[in-house]
Amino acid sequence: MTMTITKTKTRTKVAVAVAVAVVAGAIAAAGFMLILGRMVPIFALAASSPSGVSVPGHSEVLRYSVAPQRVNIEVGETLFEINTTDNAGSLWNTCDQLGSTSEWAIYDTGGNRVDASGAWQFFNDELLPCVGSETVAFARATFPSMIRLPNGGAAQTFSLYIDTYAASAVSDDSIMVSIPSIASAVSWSDDRGIMRGARGIRSLPIVGNTITY
């Protein structure tokens, strides 16, 4: 009787393992990402990301890197979360002022601009289109030529610049920029060319440093 139970348990384990493998294969064939494979881009805050005291103007507010993992990666969009203070009440961080595409840019380490200058989108704290005197809480960058990260290649570093000219240095206005962990934070594809979101990217969020003016 004992032997019969042991064999039954063994057959059950094998059957379960085979069933899991079949389901996983079906999911992969359908083009869905297997989270357990962790074949996703890896984001990281650069050690040299700016922090501390700065001067209002067109300056770097976040430096971060993106690396491939096991497969070729192409990044099409990135969403940034913006936290600011407006101690002087100048409304510098509102959609009317900060929500202008000309105020934002992303560069690689070679100084090449990689974002589409006219394709930035701005949102309020509910992720709805930002208008008027609402505070800019999120900003989405689109890359016209998707940023390609070859499998086995080194991480690439990017710098986000924002023109904060209207921030008050007298009242110590501040800004902190992050990349959140919500599903819409990143748009990317792998070797299959299927566009995916941030789901499963365990390196997110990355939280930038506070810059005070």
| CATH number of the domain enclosing 202 | 2.60.40
Output DSSP code: residue 126: T
Q: Are residues 22 and 105 in the same domain?
A: no
Q: Are residues 75 and 51 in the same domain?
A: yes
The CA-based angle 53-59-61, given to 5 degrees, is 70
Dihedral class, residue 49 (left if φ above 0, else alpha if ψ from -120 to 50, else beta): beta
Number of domains in the chain: 2
Can you read off the two tokens belonging to residue 152? Answer: 């086995």
Q: Are residues 115 and 49 in the same domain?
A: yes
Q: Are residues 107 and 125 in the same domain?
A: yes
Q: Are residues 1 and 59 in the same domain?
A: no
Dihedral class, residue 152 (left if φ above 0, else alpha if ψ from -120 to 50, else beta): left
Q: Are residues 24 and 127 in the same domain?
A: no
Query: Residue 187's pLDDT is what?
Result: 94
In one letter, which amino acid is 46?
Answer: A
> Nearest 5°: phi and psi at 125?
-75, -5
Check: CB of residue 82 under 8 Å from CB of residue 177.
yes
Q: Are residues 26 and 43 in the same domain?
A: no
The partner residues of 140 in beta bridges, in order of sequence, read: 79, 121
Indicate whether 8 pLDDT > 70.
no
Among the listed residues 166, 156, 170, the one whose alpha carbon sits nearest the alpha carbon of residue 75: 156
**Number of C-beta neighbours around residue 34 at 10 A:** 12
In one letter, which amino acid is 67?
Answer: A
Q: Are residues 143 and 43 in the same domain?
A: yes
Q: Are residues 67 and 155 in the same domain?
A: yes
- Put simply, whether the predicted model's pTM sits higher than 0.85 gets the answer no
The partner residues of 124 in beta bridges, in order of sequence, read: none
Check: CB of residue 124 under 8 Å from CB of residue 140.
no
Q: Averaged over 26-35, what is the pLDDT?
A: 36
Query: Residue 24's pLDDT is what?
Result: 37
Check: CB of residue 78 under 8 Å from CB of residue 198.
no
User: Structural domain of residue 71, as residue ranges?
Assistant: 39-212
Q: Are residues 55 and 107 in the same domain?
A: yes
Q: Are residues 66 and 131 in the same domain?
A: yes
State pLDDT tens for residues 158-173.
999 999 999 999 999 9
